[in-house]
Amino acid sequence: MTEELLVPIDTYLQSGIHIGAKFKTGFMAPYIYKIRPDGLCVLNISKIDESIRNAAKLLSKYEPDKIMVVCRRDNGHKAVKAFGKATGTKVIAGRYLPGTMTNPAFPQFSEPEIVVVSDPWLDKQVVGDSVKANIPVIGLCDTNNTTENIDLVIPCNNKGNKSLGVIYYALAREYMRERGAIQKIADIDIPLNDF
């Protein structure tokens, strides 16, 4: 790795961000570093880090109120709420209601310009609505996910609360740096424990 990682390698490893599922799809094969003897797939940490950087660059083109982050999985609620608090983005932690992006008469109607989903399978309603509304989707994808209709993949363990915390922590810091809200990553005052 020629570039310094967004977070220390030990933080990535301790969070289990690189430990995938036993099942793998062809979509996720390019991100898999190896398969352990117990059958679990191991994701490439440098590709994870690079994908977080790319996602932050893409997100930085949008105002915070034009970004929607969705996480149906209970393990990610704390992380996405902290991400929303740090960045000012709209967050749905819990069940996404159909029509939120497609039905203007819906009370919670929202028109984001880009969406981040924490699991394309659990958040498939959001992905489907995004496709209908022609909204790009960034997806946190484990080795068992398919990536159709996902415009930018962040390969990761999208099931563990520590893993999701580290991803959203790194993504928040890099997004704010890309937006010019902070000069360098060390300038940000967001403790990882908040995620």
Domain containing 97 equals 9-194
Residue 1: band (very low, low, confident or very high) from pLDDT cuts 50, 70, 90: very low
CATH number of the domain to which 21 belongs? 3.40.50.10490
Mean predicted confidence (pLDDT) in 143-158: 95
136: in domain: yes
160: in domain: yes
pLDDT for the residue 3: 66
24: in domain: yes
Dig out the tokens for 47 from the structure: 């590709």
pLDDT for the residue 8: 92
Tally of structural domains, the chain = 1
pLDDT tens for residues 30-80?
889 898 999 899 999 999 999 999 999 999 999 999 999 999 999 999 999
1: in domain: no
33: in domain: yes
DSSP strand pairing (114-117 vs 137-141): parallel
Residue 187: band (very low, low, confident or very high) from pLDDT cuts 50, 70, 90: low
Mean predicted confidence (pLDDT) in 141-154: 94
Is residue 185 pLDDT above 60, yes or no?
A: no
Distance from C-alpha of 150 to C-alpha of 166, rounded to nearest angstrom: 21
Question: What amino acid occupies position 28?
Answer: M
DSSP, res 39? S
179: in domain: yes
* Contact partners, residue 100, CB within 8 Å, separation at least 6: 92, 106, 108, 109, 110, 126, 129
3: in domain: no
72: in domain: yes
